[in-house]
A and B are shown apart, each in its own frame.
Chain A
Amino acid sequence: KAGVTQTPRYLIKTRGQQVTLSCSPISGHRSVSWYQQTPGQGLQFLFEYFSETQRNKGNFPGRFSGRQFSNSRSEMNVSTLELGDSALYLCASSLGGPVATDTQYFGPGTRLTVL
């Protein structure tokens, strides 16, 4: 089975621009979660989508948004980029069932640099 794929792997943007990142989950997985990883704040949860609906949300400003398509692929969008948005963005997919029997599998991440 193919793993979680994220595109693009690297991205350079300037302040004020917007960016869209893509995540393709493992086949059969219906849940996709997004995380931001920075040296200062560590790994922080952004949001989770399950069957095209946002099921959980972290504490990020409204500039961060996401969506999920009927094939479970997910995109996240960041508008009006700030320098502090430079980070590794990771997505994880899972079946979306009970935690006791479910496992999140992570993609390699998209490295976003904001200049």
Chain B
Amino acid sequence: AQSVTQLGSHVSVSEGALVLLRCNYSSSVPPYLFWYVQYPNQGLQLLLKYTSAATLVKGINGFEAEFKKSETSFHLTKPSAHMSDAAEYFCAVILSGNTGKLIFGQGTTLQVKP
């Protein structure tokens, strides 16, 4: 079954440091991959998505992710963390033909220390 795994339920970085949130997917066929962010008491906001057009995907708020087929990974990065980046981040996939059905990872809570 298609699934995504996020390594690390909590990640803590200092303000200004590199942010790296890990996501691996299990599939022999590259799926559609997404990163969403959820701030407290809010819904989910799309950061970026991979649809096979380019392996390096740039998103909002300075985030980007690189699709690596050989590693079945889609890690999210940001060069310099801001306090406002503190939130929960979700990696998700959609299998081809299953529009509207996002399958989410367990989420990673990002803490940014001053």
- In the bound complex, residues from chain A placing their C-beta under 8 Å from that of B42 are 108-109
**Interface set, chain B 93-109, CB cutoff 8 A to A:** 94, 96, 98-107
Judge whether A56 and B43 touch: CB under 8 Å: no
* B45 interface residue per 8 A CB criterion: yes
Quick one: given A104-B46, A106-B45, are A48 and B99 in contact (CB under 8 Å)? Answer: yes
Distance of B56 from chain A, by nearest CB (Å) = 17
* A26 interface residue per 8 A CB criterion: no
Interface stretch, picked from A13-21, A77-85, A91-99, is: A91-99
**Interface set, chain B 41-80, CB cutoff 8 A to A:** 41-46, 49, 51-53
Q: Which of A31, A108, A109 contacts B99 (CB 8 A)?
A: A31
- In the bound complex, residues from chain B placing their C-beta under 8 Å from that of A105 are 46
Main secondary structure of the interface of B (DSSP, over half): loop
- In the bound complex, residues from chain B placing their C-beta under 8 Å from that of A108 are 41-43
**Chain A: which residue is nearest B52 at the CB level?**
A100
- In the bound complex, residues from chain B placing their C-beta under 8 Å from that of A102 are 99
Judge whether A106 and B100 touch: CB under 8 Å: no
- The count of chain A contact residues (Cβ–Cβ below 8 Å) is 30
**Interface set, chain A 43-67, CB cutoff 8 A to B:** 43-45, 48, 50, 55-56, 58
**Chain A: which residue is nearest B46 at the CB level?**
A103
Q: Which of A35, A42, A94, A107 contacts B106 (CB 8 A)?
A: A42
Q: Which of B49, B90, B99 contacts A43 (CB 8 A)?
A: B90
* A33 interface residue per 8 A CB criterion: yes
Complex Cα spacing A109 to B114, Å: 30
What are 15 residue pairs bridging A and B, where the CB atoms are less than 8 Å apart in the complex?
A31-B100, A33-B101, A43-B92, A43-B104, A45-B102, A56-B98, A56-B100, A92-B44, A98-B99, A100-B51, A100-B53, A103-B46, A106-B44, A106-B45, A107-B43
* 4 extra interface residue pairs, beta carbon distance < 8 Å, beyond A56-B98, A106-B43: A45-B102, A92-B43, A94-B99, A109-B42
